[in-house]
Amino acid sequence: MAKVVKSYLHSIRDLIDFLRGEEYIFIQPHNFPDHDAVATAYGLQWLLDHFGIKSHLVYEGDIQRDSLKQFIKDLNIDIRHINEYEMVEEDKIINVDGCKGNKNVTDLIGDEVGVIDHHIARSPEDVEFADIRSEIGACATIIASYYEELGVVIPKDVATAFMIGINMDTSMLTRGVHTEDLRAYFRCYENADFVYVNWILRNYIRIEDLDFYHYVIENIRYIDNIAFCHFADGCSQNLLGILADFILALEEIDFVVLCASNGNKVNFSVRNELDEWDASKIIRIALQGIGFGGGHSVMAGGVINDSSKFDKDAICNRIIDMLKEDSA
């Protein structure tokens, strides 16, 4: 039976009051979380704890990047795989940096009561609190705004996490940045460990990743200002995004589509820097009927869960046709 929401919540203060007295609250970022997702979850957990509300951070998938693992370790962020908990239907769940119903957010057994996201998404009708701001560059910015709204000082470790999350998701404040991102960034700057922030931002790839850089350089396909590459032997989703940013840095390239065959799935990472194009729309339509896609106009991702439906040439040509049509 579908859940019926009796009363919707309109502010973070309402959500805090709603959660008081709940025994188990889980904060869940999107599957295979990145720096911004972890920073968002951690910042929300600290804020709830400030008001006497305990919560647990959980994720599905894997923590893939070494820099993210180090970030979690150094800031003592207690985030665990969902398999370490035995959830029941009464447990409350807040989805962050991902929306209930999206394919990159596993539907856990508990009761989703909140969604805090910055991707293009439809607000779920069966969730008490939804704060979806697709114009914002990093989800950590939304949580930082709650601290300001409630008059709570952002502590050093949280400010450090927020700065890392904002930098990572906006490619060092060069992609999809909103004035709210800048406000959050400078509020955090006063309290954060900026030396540590810079260290994490500089050390985000490994020597073994260089093989993937070599592969994409050797195998990238260029069509005018559009770049496309398929990693037939696989590539993690997070590294795929880093490589997409690397290719987009080429002066001649304005739109990048990278994809990787990972087991029976094919993952996509898309980057765009032209106003007339929308990466989220393009990948969503390109994968319609065979997979799922979404994100932002400048940065998006997608997945085909059955690799037998993947035809790289057909998808590449479909994307090129859509981009040319949008440019006409």
Same domain, 178 and 252: no
Domain boundary pick from 202, 234, 251: 202
Place of tokens 């700065």: 163
Domains in the chain, number: 2
Over residues 4-12, mean pLDDT: 91
Q: What is the CATH number of the domain that holds 26?
A: 3.90.1640.10
Alpha helices of 203-274 — where are they, by DSSP H?
A: 210-219, 237-248
Q: What is the pLDDT of residues 99-113, one digit of tens each?
A: 988 878 999 999 999
Domain boundary pick from 169, 202, 235: 202
Q: Say if strands 255-262 and 226-231 run parallel, antiparallel, or are unpaired.
A: parallel
pLDDT value of residue 101 = 81
Q: What is the pLDDT of residues 17-27, one digit of tens each?
A: 999 999 999 99
- For 320, which DSSP code? H
Q: What is the pLDDT of residues 126-183, one digit of tens each?
A: 999 999 999 999 999 999 999 999 999 999 999 999 999 999 999 999 999 999 999 9
Q: What is the pLDDT of residues 223-265, one digit of tens each?
A: 999 999 999 999 998 899 999 999 999 999 999 999 999 999 9
Tokens for 122, please give them. 């439809």
pLDDT value of residue 6 = 82
Give dist(CA 328, CA 322) in Å, integer. Answer: 10
Same domain, 186 and 43: yes
